[in-house]
Amino acid sequence: MREYNPKEIESRWQSEWKEKNSFGTGVKQGPKHYVLEMFPYPSGRIHMGHVRNYSIGDAIARFRRLQGFDVLHPMGWDAFGLPAENAAIKNKVHPAKWTRENIAYMREQLRKMGFSYDWAREVATCEPEYYRWEQQFFLDMYEKGLAYKKQSFVNWCPTCETVLANEQVEAGLCWRCDSPVQQRELEQWFLRITDYADELLADLEQLRGGWPERVLTMQHHWIGKSVGAEVQFEVEGSDKPLTVFTTRPDTLFGATFMSLAPEHSRVPELIAGRPEAADVLAFVDRVRSQDRIARTAEGGEKEGVFTGAYAINPVNGRRVPIWVANFVLADYGTGAVMAVPTHDQRDFEFATKYGLEKVVVIQPEGESLDPSSMKAAYDGPGKLVASGDFDGLNNEEAKWAIAEHLDKQGRGRKSITFRLRDWGISRQRYWGSPIPMIYCDECGTVPVPREQLPVRLPEQVEFTGEGGNPLARSEEFIHTTCPKCEGKARRETDTFDTFVESSWYFLRYCSAPNDQAAFVKEEVDRWAPVDQYIGGIEHAVMHLLYSRFFTKVLRDLGYVSIGEPFKRLLTQGMVIKDGAKMSKSKGNVVDPDALVQKYGADTARVFSLFAAPPEKDLDWSDRGVEGAYRFLNRTWNLIVSRLDAVKSAPALNAAELPADLRDVRRAVHKTLGKVEVDIGERYHFNTAIAAVMELVNTLSDDLNKRGELQGQAASVYREAFSFITAMLYPIAPHVTEELADLLGLEPLWKGAWPSVDAEAARDESIEIPVQVNGKLRGRVSMAPGTTKDEIERLAMEDEGVKTWVEGKQIVKVVVVPNRMVNIVVK
């Protein structure tokens, strides 16, 4: 008998699939279905997280093809990014070469896993054929006012003279040279994602059901809509008021001072010529030199300094001192806060520390707050006091009453603020897509004309890790002519954030590799949106939010018809070993190559799907891998040992089978029904595999008793074996293709999911538990559909039950047909 030889089988079927283009679109004629896994960063080698992610996606794609869908299942490379540049500095290898070699190696690794991708649509984001389109989108956005430039801060290493990413800052120091990192202000490009804040929030409702609830919640909080009011305070000695944002306009009468962010644009003017000026400047310098993380760390000391200036509370004319405080953020709200120490804990602490005035304006029911004895701020409900005409109002009503009052006076209005900020997309890096802009001394900022796209990255550059962006030192790149006046001009040397590339790649697959347009309308309309997206939970906010934003922008630009890119989302857990996430530094990585070498790709796939349901973390176990391998061997042996008998079996006559064969067939059809739901609806591959294992065990036991397979028994087994190949095909495609071939069946990549024969799956008799006072005391068997009265009678006659019921008073009998009986006695 032939033995299971994964290496030989796998390479043969991988060649066959490639040769026949088995996974191109249009192979199946049914309705469209788009299955997508998050594309990898080409770091060098695939890791177990990839194996898991892509095994899940491949199982879904292959199952949908069996169901008759025309499936789009593409793969590509998120190929721009920091590690390529670091490798260039460290190993003197060009980022392009490094990246392309990594892609070639990893593509081969994925091919050896047998994933069913349509490689004809492969994209790599570092190629001009890809990034030219996002340069075009950027120009579109610029024209619509969605892309703009503004000053913002970056991490700057003064020794390396370069901008650092957040991950390159370790405890406030540069990761390369340990110099203290400074905050430097640069002009940078931004995309107006905040214009879409309301829609991004509202459309989360459409995704409910298809997306995990926790991801929706996280996005909800990230967008962070706050409803409140803007209030204008006149400033003594100035004709320009200061505006604050507050969610508590009801406490306005209790505002006793004001706090500004150190970066607030009015600070220099407020302190000009005052004795406090030097102290304020020193404070501002100190706070600004801290990195954001240190400044906002938990338990961080709340600090501030008085500016010497005063503002006027618009509702009661109170003079309120203006302070600068380290906890006020310049980029949230208006960068200025009205402080109400009695009803905001942070303001309470600040006022206590600096001896500032406290006034109670909300009194809770049945209590009387006194500022001098309060230990903490009171932020609950109550009635207004010391608030002029608003005294006695419930504080919730007062919010709107005061906001309206301010509106009438022209000193404020209802206002909504989002936590979401505009997306800064400028990076002072080489290995990214150039931003297609030109600076001319005469004409200012001029977009690159569309016919000149793509703006290509020059390949001749040096990587030293010092002196800023290598692109800025590339003479051939910087110098250009102004498209307007044809005078001398310079190119923008910043490149796009790599999140830009990953925000639209799923749409590009619909038309890749077309070089005439980013998308062909009919194609993108046919395939978008992605029906099932699969990836790590770590992308719950940024990548998924940016992709949703881009899709809406591309819709408004007329490129696509959809407003949401991903209909269903599956977030998979991490791969853990020895209680920690697999990582090189912990030394607990398992190399997929070695695994495939030893057991084959099918075993790696079975294990990664069997060990846990997709959304949970997966605990790696070498023993578990061997278990998966043994299961494939058992299945192989079961089928191959009976090949001759089942291949010569007569036609199946389902209506006239003896009881023992009806039992076998019932197990087969019941398993098929369960696997169909587990794979197709629940994505719980672990229980689907368990069900097939059970069936294999059942069939083995039956065959041991049965001996020779003859007549209708062989026919029943022929059906059983063909079902097993179909059920396992999404999970272990190579071995099942081989078995189907040995059984004389058509290749599974062309095949169809079998249908359950409801009659065959129907139970002839069922056994249900009988409880007495909730404790299991017996079991009774009956035909399905037996009446409640009859079930009760059978339960009462059961010997085990009788001993517990005799001599007691029966209070109640609960009968749930097909489930259980509970007899309540006293």
Kindly report the number of other CB atoms within 10 A of residue 511's CB atom: 20
CB of 313 to RNA, least distance (A): 14
* Shortest Cβ 86–RNA spacing (Å): 22
Return the number of the residue (411 or 521) whose C-beta is nearest RNA: 411
C-alpha–C-alpha distance, residues 485 and 477, integer Å: 19
Task: Tell the residue number behind the tokens 């609806």, with chain if given.
Answer: 681
Contact assessment for residue 88 and residue 463, using Cβ atoms and an 8 Å cutoff: yes
Q: Minimum CB separation from RNA for residue 626, in Å?
A: 6
Specify burial of residue 698 (Cβ count, 10 A radius: 0-12, 13-18, 19+).
middle
How near is the Cβ of 536 to RNA at its closest, in Å? 10
686 counts as binding RNA under rule CB under 7 A? yes
182 binds RNA (CB under 7 A): no
> For residues 561 and 551, is the Cβ–Cβ distance under 8 A?
no
Nearer to RNA by Cβ, of 179 and 686: the residue is 686
Minimum distance from CB of 305 to RNA (Å)?
Answer: 14
Identity (one letter) of the amino acid at 808?
Answer: K
Handedness of CA 507, 512, 517, 519 (dihedral sign): negative
**Rg of the chain's alpha carbons, rounded to an integer?**
34
**Among 78, 71, 85, 72, which Cα is nearest to 123's?**
78
Residue 201 in the binding site for RNA (CB under 7 A): no
Residues 142-181 that bind RNA (CB under 7 A): none
| 823: Cα separation from own chain's centroid | 49
Of the candidate residues 22, 777, 780, 791, the single one contacting RNA (CB under 7 A)? 777
Q: Does residue 413 touch RNA according to CB under 7 A?
A: no
Q: Does 205 bind RNA (CB under 7 A)?
A: no
Q: Please name the residue that has the structure tokens 């310098």.
A: 285
Of the residues 300, 381, 444, 784, which one makes contact with RNA according to CB under 7 A:
300
Reported in sequence order, the residue ranges of 526-622 that DSSP labels E, i.e. its strands, are: 530-536, 566-572, 575-577, 580-581, 618-619
- Residue 732 found at the interface with RNA (CB under 7 A): no
- The contact mask relative to RNA for 310-349 (x = CB under 7 A, - = no) is ----------------xxxx--xxxx-xx-----x-x---
Toward RNA, which CB reaches closer, 225 or 274? 225
Touching RNA, residues 610-649 (CB under 7 A): 610-613, 616-619, 621, 623-624, 626-628, 630-631, 633-634
In angstroms, what CA-CA distances link 196 with 193, 347, 541, 552? 5, 32, 15, 8
Query: What is residue 43's three-state secondary structure?
Result: coil
Residue 674 in the binding site for RNA (CB under 7 A): yes
Q: Which of 182, 247, 352, 394 forms a contact with RNA (CB under 7 A)?
A: 247
Scanning residues 539 to 578, which ones bind RNA (CB under 7 A)? 541
- Range in contact with RNA (rule: CB under 7 A) among 201-209, 379-387, 734-742, 775-783: 775-783
Closer to RNA at the Cβ: 300 or 744?
300
Q: Using an 8 Å Cβ cutoff, are 281 and 268 in contact?
A: no
Total residues contacting RNA by CB under 7 A comes to 88
Distance in angstroms (rounded) separating the CA atoms of residues 398 and 384: 8
C-alpha span between 571 and 49 (Å, rounded): 12
- Residues of this chain, 417-436, that bind RNA according to CB under 7 A: 417, 419
> Smallest distance, Å, CB 26 to RNA?
34
CA separation (Å) from 809 to 389, 772, 816? 71, 12, 21
**Residue 120 vs 810, nearer CB to RNA:** 810
Asked if 2 is part of the footprint of RNA (rule: CB under 7 A), the reply reads no
Cβ at position 293, least distance to RNA in Å: 8
First to last CA, the chain: 64
Within its chain, how far is the Cα of 597 from the centroid?
32
Residue 235 CA to its chain's centroid (Å): 46
Q: How far is CA 724 from CA 166, 632, 738, in A?
A: 51, 11, 12
Short-list 525, 280, 413, 801, CA closest to 793: 801
Residue pair 315/229 in contact (Cβ under 8 Å)? The answer is no
Judged by CB under 7 A, does residue 816 bind RNA?
yes
Residue 773 binds RNA (CB under 7 A): yes
Cβ–Cβ < 8 Å for 734, 9: yes
CB of 266 to RNA, least distance (A): 14
Instruction: Specify the residue, 37 or 678, whose C-beta has the smaller distance to RNA.
Output: 678
Is residue 121 near RNA by the rule CB under 7 A? no
Q: Which stretch binds RNA (CB under 7 A): 267-275, 435-443, 660-668, 672-680?
A: 672-680
Q: How far apart are CA 572 and CA 568, in angstroms?
A: 13
Q: How many other C-beta atoms can be found within 10 angstroms of the C-beta atom of residue 766? A: 15
Give the Cα separation of 100 and 93 in Å (integer): 11
* Three state DSSP letters for 374-412: CCCCCCCCCEECCCHHHCCCEHHHHHHHHHHHHHHHCCE
Q: Which residue has the tokens 């003197």?
A: 92
Question: Least Å distance between CB 786 and RNA?
Answer: 15
Among 111, 192, 598, 684, binds RNA (CB under 7 A): 684
Among 677, 752, 783, 810, binds RNA (CB under 7 A): 677
690-729 footprint of RNA as x/- string (CB under 7 A)? x--xx--x--xx--x-------------------------
Q: Does 228 bind RNA (CB under 7 A)?
A: yes
Residue located via tokens 């176990």? 621
Between residues 139 and 689, which has the closer beta carbon with respect to RNA? 689
**Does 83 help bind RNA (rule: CB under 7 A)?**
no
Q: How far is the CB of 7 from RNA (least distance, A)?
A: 17
8 Å CB contact between 746 and 651: no
Q: Which stretch binds RNA (CB under 7 A): 45-53, 66-74, 293-301, 554-562?
A: 293-301
Q: Based on CB atoms, which residue is closest to RNA, 677 or 752?
A: 677
Could you tell me which of 763, 90, 187, 160 has the C-alpha nearest to residue 435?
187
Does residue 780 belong to the site contacting RNA (CB under 7 A)?
Answer: no
Report how far residue 59's alpha carbon sits from residue 65's, in angstroms, rounded to the nearest whole number. Answer: 10
Q: In the complex with RNA, which residue's Cβ is closer, 92 or 812?
A: 812
x/- contact string, 343-382, with RNA (CB under 7 A)?
-x-x------------------------------------
For residues 119 and 499, which CB has a smaller minimum distance to RNA in the complex?
Answer: 499
Among 120, 202, 272, 297, binds RNA (CB under 7 A): 297
* Identified binder of RNA from the candidate list 111, 149, 176, 302, rule CB under 7 A: 302
Q: Does 593 bind RNA (CB under 7 A)?
A: no
Of 136 and 387, nearer to RNA (C-beta) is 387
Q: How would you label 320-344 residue by residue, b for 16+ Cβ within 10 Å and e otherwise?
A: bbbbbbbbbebebbbbbbbbbbbbb
Residues 478-537 that bind RNA (CB under 7 A): 537
The neighbouring-strand residues paired with 566 are 530
> Which one, 46 or 611, has the nearer CB to RNA?
611
Of the candidate residues 214, 240, 479, 808, the single one contacting RNA (CB under 7 A): 214
| CA–CA separation, 367 and 362 (whole Å) | 10
- With contacts defined by CB under 7 A, name the span among 356-364, 508-516, 670-678, 788-796 that binds RNA: 670-678
CB of 346 to RNA, least distance (A): 5
* Separation of alpha carbons 732 and 146, rounded Å: 47
Select from 22, 426, 722, 771 the one that contacts RNA (CB under 7 A).
771
Nearer to RNA, 694 or 790 (CB): 694
